[in-house]
Amino acid sequence: MKKYLVGDLLREYFGDEVFNLIGELSKKRDYSEFKLAEALKMEVNETRNLLYRLHSLNLASFARKKDNKIGWYIYYWTFHDDLINDFLLRYKKSQLESLRERFLKEGKSDFYSCLNKCVRLDFDKACDFSFHCPECGELLGREAEGDEKRLGSEMIKINAEIGFLEGLQKKAAITQNPPATGGKSADASGNANKVKKERKDKNGNLF
């Protein structure tokens, strides 16, 4: 499952249409938008709209070139797969932050009720009565924790996703700036191999 996590997160954020477009677009640089639309069996305008969405997030860029045969401009698009990890990390961190806020808010508005159904009190009131029913003296029980549990397990899941993405980021950083070791010429070729391998891994993770 972990193998497809980056792809899963992209699909989660963008939905199927953009996710499929990313899959095709990341096959090569300077992908003509006409060829891309053809490969995706979509209208060019529709394809362009999805591309602009990626562009607005700085995940894709284009170069405009005049086609001398047909006399108009064609846009050639490139997907920046090296920026995906950062992008997903920011997305997941903000998702976690809003969950955490909800968790705290809903935790604060806890309710406690009497087993005999005499009263229903918020946390402060229940505290005033030492968590005992002011009418019958029965111990007060905390109400439905279902939502809190759901939020809690959601947060655990997102935390794991963040951990995974941070792991990938570290791996990429090591590949880009390997720690210096002796033997310059041997090192250079070794690094080249590493970089190649990393790209393969990345694509493997992606799709």
Per CB under 5 A, residues contacting Zn ion are 114, 116, 118, 133, 135-136, 138
In order, the DSSP letters of 46-76 are: HHHHHHHHHHHTTSEEEEEEE-TTT-SEEEE
User: Residue 78 class from Cβ within 10 Å (0-12 exposed, 13-18 middle, 19+ buried)?
Assistant: middle
Tokens of 11: 């699909």
User: 139 or 173: whose CB is closer to Zn ion?
Assistant: 139
Residue 85 CB, shortest distance to Zn ion, in Å, is: 55
User: What are the phi and psi torsion angles at 136 (to 5°)?
Assistant: -120, -5
User: Helix crossing, 16-25 with 33-40: angle to 10°?
Assistant: 120
Residue 137 CB, shortest distance to Zn ion, in Å, is: 7
User: 87 or 131: whose CB is closer to Zn ion?
Assistant: 131
Tokens of 73: 């401009």
Residue 124 CB, shortest distance to Zn ion, in Å, is: 18
Residue 135 CB, shortest distance to Zn ion, in Å, is: 5
Cβ atoms of 172 and 85 within 8 Å: the answer is: yes
In order, the DSSP letters of 17-30 are: HHHHHHHHHTTSSS
User: 138 or 198: whose CB is closer to Zn ion?
Assistant: 138
User: 94 or 116: whose CB is closer to Zn ion?
Assistant: 116
Tokens of 86: 């950062």
Residue 141 CB, shortest distance to Zn ion, in Å, is: 11
User: 50 or 114: whose CB is closer to Zn ion?
Assistant: 114
β partners of residue 74: 65
Residue 127 CB, shortest distance to Zn ion, in Å, is: 16
User: 121 or 165: whose CB is closer to Zn ion?
Assistant: 121
